[in-house]
Structure 1
Amino acid sequence: MARTRIPPVAGGLAAAVAVVLAAACWVVFPPEIAGRALARPDVDLALPWPDEGQASAEVQGLGSLGSRGERGPVPIASVTKVMTAYVVLKDHPLAPGEAGPEITVDEQAQAESTAPDESTAPVRAGRRISERDLLALMLIPSGNNIARLLARWDAGSQEAFVEKMNREAAALGMTDTTYTGASGVEDSTTSTAEDQLRLAREVMKNEVIRSIVATRSLRVDGVPGSVVNTNTLLGRNGVIGLKTGSSTAAGGALMWAAEVRGGALVLGVVLHQNPGGSPAAGLRAALENSEKLIAAIQRELPAATR
């Protein structure tokens, strides 16, 4: 059978129509990564997104700066403690500057303070420490033993507390998040950058958390020496928080908050940086890649929003 020849003009028209249809489909059905639509940013900047892992950022009051990288849940290590603080303060709210109730350090928290291969805070059984100071010991030096102590104090057991964490995650629409412990030491606690960005949006409304995560170092009665923040970006490029995380499986992770010129608050999450290597190397990668991202936003955002 002879093949029908399409005249050049008709062929050109068909190609043009195909291009128009493809462009329309791009708008209506954006491209997908790992089976999920990649939403267009509300503020489109040329940003140095990390080459691996996943990242997401937004400007409060303006909208999304976009997301990049893998889309599935990954281990988040000590970024988990942000949800722990959120649940504790929801159950036991504190006013700005308020210390809150004193909580007795139990034998388990003391025993865990010398646990190898974990970030801990040195506390002694029987010592009474305020709720706010315990939150600081959990968020600033990332004390795993303190996270579990707060979970037991709040809910009676870490298991019961984890149920609360997952209920709050569901209420915030964090559909790709599963918490299995209060500290993040478990590799089975997984989430995505977009889900953790939802949480960052909520916790930065809390003045107590904002104040704690912006603290570079402090002293707590009964705890030797100064407590130093693991977030070394504080005070640079407008950074005012939030929380680091690192483990072999998670690599490095950082939930961050920064103020840009004009007073806008930018929130971001970088996960799964250099997974499989040492936790220290992963954390360095998360901090370095986040700093590049934040510095670029500081440069580009004011001009883009004039």
Structure 2
Amino acid sequence: MRMMLKAVVLWGALAVAAGFASIGAVHAADKAGSKIEVQKSKSPTTQKAKARPVSKASSSQRVAQKGKVASRVSKAKSTRVAKASPSAARVGGSKSSRPTQKGKNVAPAMAGGVDLWQGQEHLAVRSGSALVIAQDGGEALYEKNARIVVPIASITKVMTAMVVLDSMPNLQAPITITDEDVDYLKGSRSRLQVGSVITREMALLLALMSSENRAANALGRHYPGGLPAFIVAMNRKAASLGMSRTHFADPTGLTSNNVSTAHDLARMVAAAYRYPLIREFSTTPGATAEVKGRELEYRNTNQLVKSPTWEIGLSKTGYIQEAGKCLVMQARVADRPVVIVLLDSSGKQTRIGDANRIKRWMESASASGKATPA
């Protein structure tokens, strides 16, 4: 009996041990399974963690791309700055990099071996076409649309005066104002009434000083061969001076068919300066003309000839709607003889303002040593 009891107890102990062993195995298995589950549950996080560097890399690429874009923009801006700044463009020393300011085609110039590029960005000329050039020619000190063909209005009268004087007429001979001299094209006014008789010299003075249209037309009519021959002579004279882009259709400039360029007009002014009478008459501040027993006061259309700060050797203004306000001058500026041409100015005082700006610019350049007077 005792033996059977021991066997039962031993069997029970073995069963309990086996149970604990199986429970331990189950716990072990559960623990292992728990680790697997945890690993699986963490794997997305781990994948995300691994994906973050990729995201950072793409972000850095985007930053790099933005940096490249910013660099390109910066380069583009620096290029635009270089184009807008003559001094910046000159650093490279390339002629192809010469600046073109908005609405301006600026030419290089040397004055006494000094480059006048410096300071050109500070010269704001508002006339549509402009040219500043040494009287004896050479490179332009400043130019803007100086080769564009435009109407020239009464600047024409400088050529009219040269052609008249080339024919060596009797300046004291009387000429008569007729209906043929009346402006029916633009309707401009004149105090020289039809039937008025003045000397050729007085007509020349009034045409150059006060831009008197009837006087200028009468001069052309009294030319040998009449007005048609006079216009032929005008164009022949222009061709002889190398004014290849110039055409004249009348002696007054009232027609917009009288066209030229700033460069051509600079040639004309330089040539006209060799005529003492043109220099004198075009710069006379004012004069009195006796017409039909009446004394008529005339003034110069260029107010600068009366200025004590200007030394002007030749002057002529012009205006028709198609041409705008125009002005040509020979003057001594910063102790240099130059020709100044200003065409297509819109404002009433724009051409005068431009002339004064050019004068200040040249004087400033000379004073600072950027330009050496010739």
Preserved CA contact (<8 Å) 1:119 1:141: no
Report the alpha carbon displacement of residue 115 of structure 1 after superposing the two structures with TM.
8.5
> How many residues are aligned here?
266
Preserved CA contact (<8 Å) 1:169 1:177: yes
Gaps in structure 1 of 5+ consecutive residues: 1-18, 94-98, 275-280
Higher mean displacement: 169-178 or 236-245: 236-245
Rate the CA distance shift 1:115–1:217 in 2: closer, same or farther, 3 A.
farther
Report the alpha carbon displacement of residue 230 of structure 1 after superposing the two structures with TM.
0.6
Q: 1:159 aligned to 2:235?
A: no
Cα distance in 1 for residues equivalent to 2:157 and 2:237: 13
TM-score, normalization: structure 2?
0.63
Rate the CA distance shift 1:247–1:126 in 2: closer, same or farther, 3 A.
closer
Amino acid at match of 1:297: M
Superimposed CA distance per residue, residues 147-204 of structure 1 (whole angstroms, 9 cap, x where no aligned partner)? 1100011143322211111111111111111111110000111111111001010111
Superimposed CA distance per residue, residues 99-152 of structure 1 (whole angstroms, 9 cap, x where no aligned partner)? 82312214226x62899732534245262x222211111111111111110001
Higher mean displacement: 177-186 or 292-301: 292-301
Please give the residue correspondences for 1:1-306 in structure 2 after superposition, counting only pairs within 5 Å.
Answer: 26=96, 39-43=107-111, 44=116, 46-47=119-120, 48-61=123-136, 63=138, 64-69=140-145, 71-92=147-168, 100-108=171-179, 112=182, 117-125=187-195, 127=197, 129-222=198-291, 224-236=295-307, 237-240=309-312, 241-260=314-333, 262=335, 264-274=336-346, 281=347, 283-301=348-366, 303=369, 304-305=371-372
The percent of aligned pairs where both chains have the same amino acid is 27
Three-state SS of the structure 2 residue aligned to 1:117 is coil
Gaps in structure 2 of 5+ consecutive residues: 1-88
Superimposed CA distance per residue, residues 79-103 of structure 1 (whole angstroms, 9 cap, x where no aligned partner)? 111110111111126xxxxx82312
More helix by share: 2
Superimposed CA distance per residue, residues 186-223 of structure 1 (whole angstroms, 9 cap, x where no aligned partner)? 01111111110010101111111111111110112226
Higher mean displacement: 38-47 or 190-199: 38-47
Amino acid at match of 2:205: A
Rate the CA distance shift 1:61–1:180 in 2: closer, same or farther, 3 A.
closer
TM-score, normalization: structure 1?
0.76
Superimposed CA distance per residue, residues 228-262 of structure 1 (whole angstroms, 9 cap, x where no aligned partner)? 11101113332423000111111110001222354
Cα distance in 2 for residues equivalent to 1:65 and 1:217: 32
Rate the CA distance shift 1:49–1:31 in 2: closer, same or farther, 3 A.
closer
Rate the CA distance shift 1:79–1:227 in 2: closer, same or farther, 3 A.
same
- Quote the RMSD (CA, aligned, Å): 3.0
Rate the CA distance shift 1:113–1:137 in 2: closer, same or farther, 3 A.
farther
Preserved CA contact (<8 Å) 2:152 2:323: yes
Three-state SS of the structure 2 residue aligned to 1:220 is strand
Rate the CA distance shift 1:171–1:39 in 2: closer, same or farther, 3 A.
farther
- The ranges of structure 1 where at least 4 consecutive aligned residues each deviate by more than 4 angstroms after the TM superposition are 22-25, 30-33, 113-116
